[in-house]
């Protein structure tokens, strides 16, 4: 058995019981990464030296009784838009390819305080803009269930790393579904917390009013344990919320009796793959058998979520990404005449096509004359979407639906039609617009052996309800390992077409 095939909590337990050392756990992850990276490409940077060094320190800390958390000694991968002091943080963009932060994101600080060990930085869609992890400057990530398919995005590297068992758990970020959708495509579990729960300090901003960091792992228990560690009030993030209910592991009770679950009819109409639909509805049935009360309802405004999201996210991105100008840090063009040309060439050469498209769209909707027509209208729509959820949560504890309309598409098939790709976010983005928590848990495989995700959405600050429901569902099934998780099968490895890792 390889140590990376354990859950993070199980591995942590072995470490605290001195059955294995933190150094052995780090070495096991590093070995799996070496073996699988040529096929999966889920990491941009692997901090081999740092992880080994830190494992020694942590081991001593465990022995001295300093680190007692379930994550003490556990290696964790961190998405490459989360700043790590001394470890290159690229956002998978050429413009930040050599950026080494001088500070640690608060979420990573919290992990380190608990004794977790950062093993490396995971590949992602450039600046977290995308749904397939194909727009990375460091090459596309492959889905460990079938390397001809995408892992989803934008946290595709984190989800693929967990599914391929290169490490036991990871951090991702979710602006419009980037934790939940790749979790669904890779057969792992991921939580997007209530906005304000995890500090955004050190998370490189995309759509600041929507961005949240969250856990990605093999099961609900791991996600609850990680979320408990990374959540904190932080005065360095002006949108941080002071909460006293962060004991998420207390919700792992396997009890959903009397829980009211609303199923939005609008999430099961046109555009939803039939197999996904059947598996999600069967999952709902399982919860009903365990004592939950199901009811179908009209959520309303579902079709406006995608346009409102893309206007708001792009508007914020155009402003947030103005800081990458070749002056202060990041890439600067070699050859220029004067300041303006330096800006222009650095940005033109540094950003990829999807990021440029969004900066242009965002600048347009914020420009005078269009601000009211697009941006303000999108903000009003956002407020109305929140009201729809408020109405739903007056009646239900949890809202249940699919995470994504389909399973993972083939590599290369999504980027040709960005509009179609944006529509794939239909079930996840309203959760960000309304600031709610959401979880994706695996609920089956389609005929091609690709994973399907069940999404559970809670009211603001009700993570425990979705954790409780997801955990109860999970107890009825076995964790399914990806082919790459259980060892590289020669036939899969041979079909891999190679990547352009820089």
Q: How far is CA 229 from the centre of its chain?
A: 16
Cβ-based nearer residue to ligand GLN, 191 or 251? 191
The contact mask relative to ligand GLN for 21-60 (x = CB under 6 A, - = no) is: ----------------------------------------
Is 372 exposed, middle or buried, given 0-12, 13-18 or 19+ CB atoms closer than 10 A? exposed
The active-site residue out of 69, 178, 184, 414 is 178
Query: Which residues, 6+ apart, have CB-to-CB distance to 11 below 8 Å?
Result: 3, 20, 25, 73, 74, 168
Query: Which residues, 6+ apart, have CB-to-CB distance to 191 below 8 Å?
Result: 179, 214, 215, 223, 227, 437, 438, 439, 463, 466, 467
Among 4, 42, 69, 154, binds ligand GLN (CB under 6 A): 154
- To the query of whether residue 178 is one of the catalytic residues in this protein, the response is yes
Is the omega angle on the peptide bond into residue 154 within 30 degrees of 0, that is, cis?
yes
Among 8, 129, 263, 426, binds ligand GLN (CB under 6 A): 129
Helix, coil or strand: residue 284:
helix
Binding part of the chain for ligand GLN, among 35-43, 123-131, 263-271, 289-297 by CB under 6 A, reads 123-131
Cβ-based nearer residue to ligand GLN, 115 or 157? 157
Q: Encoding tokens for residue 259?
A: 């829980």
Cβ-based nearer residue to ligand GLN, 203 or 392? 203
Beta bridge partners of 198: 231
Q: Provide Rg for the chain, Cα atoms.
A: 21
The closest residue (CB) to ligand GLN is 178
Backbone φ and ψ of 21, nearest 5°? -100, 165
453 touching ligand GLN, by CB under 6 A: no
- To the query of whether residue 244 is one of the catalytic residues in this protein, the response is no
Alpha-carbon distance of 36 to 484, in angstroms, equals 8
Q: Give the nearest distance from C-beta 365 to ligand GLN in angstroms.
A: 15
Q: Give the nearest distance from C-beta 69 to ligand GLN in angstroms.
A: 28
Q: Give the nearest distance from C-beta 153 to ligand GLN in angstroms.
A: 6
Among 174, 237, 463, 474, binds ligand GLN (CB under 6 A): 174
The contact mask relative to ligand GLN for 75-104 (x = CB under 6 A, - = no) is: ------------------------------
Among 156, 176, 193, 453, binds ligand GLN (CB under 6 A): 176
Spell out where 168-238 has E strands.
169-174, 189-192, 212-217
Backbone φ and ψ of 79, nearest 5°? -60, 145
Among 128, 150, 299, 443, binds ligand GLN (CB under 6 A): 128
Using CB under 6 A as the binding criterion, the count of chain residues that bind ligand GLN stands at 13
CA distance to 173, 174, 224, 368, 481, per residue, from 214 (Å): 6, 7, 10, 36, 22
The size of the chain, in residues, is: 502
Binding part of the chain for ligand GLN, among 25-33, 108-116, 170-178, 486-494 by CB under 6 A, reads 170-178
Nearest to 321 by CA among 405, 207, 166: 207
189 touching ligand GLN, by CB under 6 A: no
Among 120, 157, 177, 453, binds ligand GLN (CB under 6 A): 177
Alpha-carbon distance of 72 to 59, in angstroms, equals 8
Among 131, 318, 381, 407, binds ligand GLN (CB under 6 A): 131
Alpha-carbon distance of 44 to 137, in angstroms, equals 10
Is 344 exposed, middle or buried, given 0-12, 13-18 or 19+ CB atoms closer than 10 A? middle
- To the query of whether residue 69 is one of the catalytic residues in this protein, the response is no
Binding part of the chain for ligand GLN, among 127-135, 163-171, 368-376, 459-467 by CB under 6 A, reads 127-135
Cβ-based nearer residue to ligand GLN, 101 or 176? 176
Among 50, 130, 262, 362, binds ligand GLN (CB under 6 A): 130
Cβ-based nearer residue to ligand GLN, 201 or 427? 427
The contact mask relative to ligand GLN for 408-437 (x = CB under 6 A, - = no) is: -----------------x------------
Among 41, 178, 184, 346, binds ligand GLN (CB under 6 A): 178
313 touching ligand GLN, by CB under 6 A: yes
Residues 192, 438 contacting (CB under 8 angstroms): yes
The active-site residue out of 5, 154, 158, 318 is 154
Residues 32, 166 contacting (CB under 8 angstroms): yes
Alpha helices per DSSP H over 171-241:
180-186, 220-230
Cβ-based nearer residue to ligand GLN, 193 or 262? 193
175 touching ligand GLN, by CB under 6 A: yes
- Interface of this chain with ligand GLN, residues 258 to 297, rule: CB under 6 A: none
* Residues identified as active-site: 79, 154, 178
What residues line the site for ligand GLN (CB under 6 A)? 128-131, 154, 174-178, 206, 313, 425
């Amino acid at each position: 058995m390889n140590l990376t095939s354990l859950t993070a909590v199980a591995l942590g337990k072995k470490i605290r019981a001195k059955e294995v050392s933190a150094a052995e756990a780090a070495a096991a992850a590093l070995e799996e990464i070496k073996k699988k990276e040529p096929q999966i490409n889920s990491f941009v940077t692997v901090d081999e030296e740092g992880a080994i060094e830190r494992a020694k320190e942590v081991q001593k800390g465990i022995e001295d009784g300093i680190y007692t958390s379930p994550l003490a000694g556990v290696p964790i991968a961190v998405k490459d838009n989360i700043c790590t002091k001394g470890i290159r943080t690229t956002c998978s963009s050429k413009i930040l390819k050599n950026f080494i932060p001088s500070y640690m994101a608060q979420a990573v600080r919290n992990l380190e305080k608990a004794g977790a060990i950062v093993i490396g930085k995971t590949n992602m869609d450039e600046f977290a803009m995308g749904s397939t992890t194909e727009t990375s400057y460091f090459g596309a990530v492959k889905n460990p269930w079938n390397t001809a398919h995408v892992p989803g995005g934008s946290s595709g590297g984190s989800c693929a790393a967990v599914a391929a068992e290169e490490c036991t758990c990871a951090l991702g970020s979710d602006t419009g579904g980037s934790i939940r959708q790749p979790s669904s495509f890779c057969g792992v579990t991921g939580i997007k917390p209530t906005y304000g729960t995890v500090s955004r300090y050190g998370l490189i901003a995309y759509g600041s009013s929507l961005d949240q960091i969250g856990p990605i792992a093999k099961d609900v228990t791991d996600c609850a344990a990680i979320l408990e560690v990374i959540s904190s009030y932080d005065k360095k993030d002006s949108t941080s919320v002071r909460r006293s209910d962060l004991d998420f592991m207390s919700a792992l009770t396997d009890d959903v009796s009397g829980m009211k679950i609303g199923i939005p009819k609008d999430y099961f109409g046109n555009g939803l793959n039939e197999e996904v639909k059947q598996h999600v509805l069967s999952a709902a049935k399982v919860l009903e058998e365990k004592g939950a009360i199901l009811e179908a309802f009209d959520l309303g405004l579902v079709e406006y979520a995608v346009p409102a999201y893309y206007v708001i996210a792009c508007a914020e991105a155009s402003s947030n990404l103005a800081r990458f100008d070749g002056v202060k840090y990041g890439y600067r063009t070699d050859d220029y005449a004067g300041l303006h040309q330096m800006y222009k060439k650095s940005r033109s050469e540094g950003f990829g096509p999807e990021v440029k498209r969004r900066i242009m769209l965002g600048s347009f909707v914020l420009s005078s004359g269009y601000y009211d027509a697009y941006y303000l209208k999108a903000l009003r729509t956002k407020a109305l979407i929140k009201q729809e959820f408020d109405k739903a949560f007056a009646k239900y504890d949890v809202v249940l639906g699919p995470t994504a309309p389909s399973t993972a598409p083939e590599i290369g098939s999504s980027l040709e039609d960005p509009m179609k790709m944006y529509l794939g976010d239909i079930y996840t983005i309203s959760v960000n617009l309304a600031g709610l928590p959401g979880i994706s848990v695996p609920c089956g495989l389609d005929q091609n052996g690709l994973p399907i995700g069940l999404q559970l959405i809670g009211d603001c600050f009700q993570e425990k309800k979705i954790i409780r429901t997801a955990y109860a569902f999970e107890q009825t099934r076995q964790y399914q390992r990806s082919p790459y998780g259980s060892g590289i099968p020669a036939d899969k490895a041979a079909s891999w077409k190679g990547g352009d890792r820089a």
